[in-house]
Chain A
């Protein structure tokens, strides 16, 4: 029988499927961070259970940390307690921790790939919905809750039902200046914010194959934002080149064996998907979200929609509520929306290519006097590379703040918080109410568009900046 990539990943990681029980799948890598792990460690302790494979578990600190200081207490007392708890738990259970100031520290979904922890054919889980990022390598990767984190700790497995499959094929080449972020936002605009619920999405087609690993990560990262359980891209030469020589990638003979294995990880030509969506790359323009759900998105040359433009009563109501929250009037040109803040960072867009793209957009211009703009690299390795290339100077000279790695204003759990009514062009992944601070207003965009917006003081197509 012809199999999809997902079928193959499922089969090779299925421990057993007993009648009347949820299938048991193996977890090759378990990534953890300070926010969703403490109760799982406490559960182990309470039941007197061991952490079965500490060597398959890796921890970092990212959600709750300051981007101004590496001091553990720099983001407040409760945050410090949570970070200290992670330190204690990792020491007690023998888990490798990339803690404050460690050269491998960074956002969990940035460091997994850059350290070579993320490998094709594996199952990777983390108590974080953006674990979908790792699917860019042809790994089955998804977010889990804390009860499941505890299950993985104790058993190195997880009970999961097989999802349905969906193919999203992007034909042709994207236009100049169109980023991976624009592709995924355009997809979400088309499918709706729950459009892939219950499905594992495989992205394919010429436009996807042409993407770098970092761009594929941006696409897979946001799979969760239209309800997909996970996103996948079949591994290819681009994947292998990226992984070769990374710290935890297989070496020598094992590398050769791995490559031979990974080359089989693709959907068979005749395999059938439960759903298929085909889009033309050439039609994708730079995207901007205007509302409080990711499918509330339009092209930069578009307008804020009117609630009456929706047929469905629930969508009409959601549009009206979003306009009110966002302080926008239907019909307003997107490019007439002024912003007060710019955030370049997050597990979606904080890798070196993102920072290069943003720096390249600035071209010696200055951040608007009405805008506060911050750049938060995704990891210490990204930061170091950016500084080697002089990107930090480009940002600083333009008037951006150059911060330390962390999740920062993506979820504003630390002190990088917006105030009520402040409006941010953000390269992160969620425009939900209050996400970047109570009453804050978020427009999700690409790094290029965020950088251009910082200069112009309003949402603007990067190509029109000069």
Chain B
């Protein structure tokens, strides 16, 4: 996993609550057996007017030229709810999003982001509202510093909380499987204690 240190990038405001993983990457694009090739289908049904993804929907914020190259996504509560498909954060990451800001995330989606090196930032409703208001006026450039747990926009700083273990994992780009394999002795000892009916 790539290390996450700081990120300065354009913020894309997507003003909607309960954005589910079916919206992020619809099921017809889940038939791949690789981890790549999902970015072009990100938000497909909102992003394209046709089923083949040839005609961009000019109304959809992702297609507006001023947001080209955005790397920070701003949305409302319960982001990433629904299906556990990791294809959703894969698609966001491959498209170029390194940070997602919302008042709350669905649990599985949040864990998936941490596992692949995308930073989910939880701010309060009021802070998210403020960011949406800023974003209405200008295209925002936002500085995200995970080390200090601070984001900076329009000379205003917002601090955020993240579990230390998640912060460390993102900063170091930890291979969590390799790490757990170092605990094999403990795992094997645990297996010895399991009841016989298991």
Contacts of B178 in A (CB 8 A): 47
A129-B84 contact given A82-B33, A150-B177, A433-B45, CB 8 Å threshold? yes
Decide yes or no whether A279 CB sits under 8 A from chain B: no
Closest to B48 in A: A438
Stretch at the interface among B23-31, B65-73, B136-144, B147-155: B23-31
Query: Is A432 in contact with B82, judged by CB distance below 8 angstroms?
Result: yes
* Interface of chain A residues 141 through 162 with chain B (CB within 8 A): 142-148, 150-151, 154-157, 159, 161
B19 to chain A, nearest CB (A): 10
Query: Binary interface profile of B, 175-194, with partner A (CB < 8 Å = 1, else 0)?
Result: 01110110110110011001
Query: Is A433 in contact with B197, judged by CB distance below 8 angstroms?
Result: no
Stretch at the interface among A17-25, A301-309, A363-371: A17-25
Decide yes or no whether A30 CB sits under 8 A from chain B: no
* Cα separation A314 to B19 with both chains bound (whole Å): 12
From B31, B89, B107, contact of A197 by CB (8 A):
B107
Stretch at the interface among A33-41, A328-336, A343-351, A379-387: A33-41
Query: Is A227 in contact with B81, judged by CB distance below 8 angstroms?
Result: yes
Query: Is B104 in contact with A129, judged by CB distance below 8 angstroms?
Result: no
Decide yes or no whether A193 CB sits under 8 A from chain B: yes
Decide yes or no whether A458 CB sits under 8 A from chain B: no
Cβ-closest 7 pairs across A and B: A78-B31, A145-B112, A145-B86, A38-B33, A143-B84, A147-B115, A258-B197
* Cα separation A224 to B76 with both chains bound (whole Å): 19
Query: Binary interface profile of B, 153-164, with partner A (CB < 8 Å = 1, else 0)?
Result: 000000000011
Contacts of A412 in B (CB 8 A): 27
A144-B195 contact given A15-B186, A82-B31, A129-B82, CB 8 Å threshold? no
Query: Binary interface profile of A, 107-146, with partner B (CB < 8 Å = 1, else 0)?
Result: 0000000000001001000011100000000000011111
A35-B30 contact given A15-B187, A197-B107, CB 8 Å threshold? yes
Query: Is B165 in contact with A21, judged by CB distance below 8 angstroms?
Result: yes
Query: Is A194 in contact with B77, judged by CB distance below 8 angstroms?
Result: yes
Query: Is A159 in contact with B176, judged by CB distance below 8 angstroms?
Result: yes
Since A15-B186, A254-B197 are in contact, a sample of 10 more A-B pairs with Cβ atoms closer than 8 Å, ordered by chain A residue number, is A15-B183, A24-B180, A85-B33, A154-B177, A157-B180, A157-B187, A197-B78, A227-B81, A229-B107, A257-B197
Contacts of B123 in A (CB 8 A): none
Contacts of B23 in A (CB 8 A): 432-434
Decide yes or no whether A79 CB sits under 8 A from chain B: yes
From B15, B18, B86, contact of A36 by CB (8 A):
B86
Most chain A C-beta atoms within 10 Å of own C-beta, residue among B33, B104, B194, B196 = B33
A263 to chain B, nearest CB (A): 13
A127-B81 contact given A38-B33, A257-B196, CB 8 Å threshold? no
Contacts of A16 in B (CB 8 A): 183, 186, 190
Query: Binary interface profile of B, 28-53, with partner A (CB < 8 Å = 1, else 0)?
Result: 10111111000000000100000100
**B interface, CB within 8 angstroms of A:** 15-18, 20, 22-23, 26-28, 30-35, 45, 51, 76-78, 81-87, 89, 104, 106-108, 111-112, 115-116, 163-165, 176-178, 180-181, 183-184, 186-187, 190-191, 194-198
Decide yes or no whether A435 CB sits under 8 A from chain B: yes
A197-B106 contact given A36-B86, A39-B33, CB 8 Å threshold? yes
**A interface, CB within 8 angstroms of B:** 15-16, 20-22, 24, 26, 28, 35-36, 38-39, 42-43, 47, 49, 63-64, 76, 78-79, 81-82, 85, 119, 122, 127-129, 142-148, 150-151, 154-157, 159, 161, 163, 193-194, 197-198, 224, 227, 229, 250, 254-255, 257-258, 261, 293, 314-315, 317-318, 321, 411-413, 430, 432-435, 438
Query: Is B112 in contact with A24, judged by CB distance below 8 angstroms?
Result: no
Contacts of A64 in B (CB 8 A): 31
14 A-B residue contacts at CB 8 Å? A39-B35, A81-B31, A144-B108, A147-B112, A148-B112, A148-B115, A197-B104, A250-B197, A254-B197, A317-B16, A318-B18, A411-B83, A432-B20, A433-B22
Query: Is B31 in contact with A22, judged by CB distance below 8 angstroms?
Result: no
* Cα separation A79 to B89 with both chains bound (whole Å): 22
Query: Is B111 in contact with A145, judged by CB distance below 8 angstroms?
Result: yes
From A194, A254, A258, A433, contact of B78 by CB (8 A):
A194
Contacts of B30 in A (CB 8 A): 35, 63, 413
Contacts of B195 in A (CB 8 A): 257-258, 261
B152 to chain A, nearest CB (A): 25
From A24, A155, A194, contact of B106 by CB (8 A):
A194
